[in-house]
Amino acid sequence: MIKGKKAKWIRKSHRYLGIFLGLQFLMWTISGLYFSWTNIDDIHGEQFHKKGIVAESFSGLISPSLLHPSIAIQSIELRVINNQPFYWVNDKMLYNAKTGDLKKGITKEEALATADKNIVSGLKAKEIQLIKEVGKHHEYREHLLPAYVISYQEPNNLKVYISANDGAFQTIRHRDWRWFDFLWMTHTMDYEGRDNMNNIVLRLFSLLGLITVLSGFLLWYISSPTIRKIWRKIKK
């Protein structure tokens, strides 16, 4: 059995580790409860997406091979911007699919038209801004830039992001998503970029947490009357 100074040292270590890690354990518990009690589809903003969108069809589109003789087409997608067809070529060039004219990005009005096509009716836009860069903690991090952010007059502080280069609908952000994002940061302990689960802080706290739990079991072992009785019988 462990006695004396060793037992005292284990108790102190367990106590101070518990105090040091207690707040993070609390945040892990709170964030875990929030994650398990929320609908991930609602967090992603599915309730704001328009249902049953019918794909538009067009006639009279020119062949992509006629766009420009010097273009080596590696990828091509059809984009519909304000009811007009466009080719998005090689993830960097936008061409009118009927005239072949090169288009340099989209306008605010076209971004709003794309948003209105993809979200539920009845929402009124109050502001449209063009953003060219965002920080590591921004709600639009790791998405295509530049982009238009459209803010709506809505209790959930709803924002829609549209790629300014090709007019593609990017994502929706709202109040519940922001709460989720904040709690996700505390859960993963990635206070730099919020999305890295392999960061050194999380590894360190996980290891210290394991030590705290194991020291608790050890304290139970060395202080349990039942264990003492067993040891006495063994010694006899």
Question: Which pLDDT score is estimated for 226?
Answer: 72
Indicate if 160 and 211 belong to the same structural domain.
no
pLDDT tens by residue, 94-142:
999 999 999 999 999 999 999 999 999 999 999 999 999 999 889 999 8
Quote the domain boundaries for residue 68.
46-173
Higher pLDDT, 10 or 112: 112
Question: Which pLDDT score is estimated for 236?
Answer: 62
Indicate if 150 and 221 belong to the same structural domain.
no
Share of residues in the chain with pLDDT > 70 (%): 93
Q: How confident is the model at residue 85 (pLDDT cuts 50, 70, 90)?
A: very high
CA distance 210 to 207: 5
Question: Which pLDDT score is estimated for 205?
Answer: 85
> How many independent structural domains does the chain possess?
2
Indicate if 98 and 143 belong to the same structural domain.
yes
Indicate if 160 and 81 belong to the same structural domain.
yes
Question: Which pLDDT score is estimated for 221?
Answer: 76
**Domain end residue (candidates: 173, 190, 212):** 173
CA distance 52 to 191: 39
Query: Are 159 and 172 within 8 A, CB to CB?
Result: yes
Adjacent-strand bridge partners of 81 = 84
**The pLDDT of residue 91 is above 70:** yes
Indicate if 36 and 133 belong to the same structural domain.
no
Adjacent-strand bridge partners of 49 = 119
Indicate if 80 and 149 belong to the same structural domain.
yes
Indicate if 16 and 94 belong to the same structural domain.
no
**The pLDDT of residue 232 is above 70:** no
Question: Which pLDDT score is estimated for 126?
Answer: 95
CA distance 124 to 116: 9
**Domain end residue (candidates: 173, 192, 214):** 173
Indicate if 198 and 222 belong to the same structural domain.
yes
Indicate if 117 and 51 belong to the same structural domain.
yes
**The pLDDT of residue 189 is above 60:** yes
CA distance 215 to 15: 10
Indicate if 160 and 52 belong to the same structural domain.
yes
Question: Which pLDDT score is estimated for 54?
Answer: 83
Higher pLDDT, 196 or 41: 41
Say if pTM beats, i.e. exceeds, 0.85. Answer: no
Q: Which two tokens stand for residue 202?
A: 């999380």
Indicate if 116 and 52 belong to the same structural domain.
yes
Question: Which pLDDT score is estimated for 82?
Answer: 92
Question: Which pLDDT score is estimated for 99?
Answer: 93
**Domain end residue (candidates: 153, 173, 193):** 173
Indicate if 150 and 206 belong to the same structural domain.
no
Average pLDDT over residues 128-157: 94
Question: Which pLDDT score is estimated for 212?
Answer: 83
pLDDT tens by residue, 13-67:
777 777 778 888 889 899 999 999 999 999 999 999 999 888 888 999 999 888 8
**The pLDDT of residue 175 is above 70:** yes
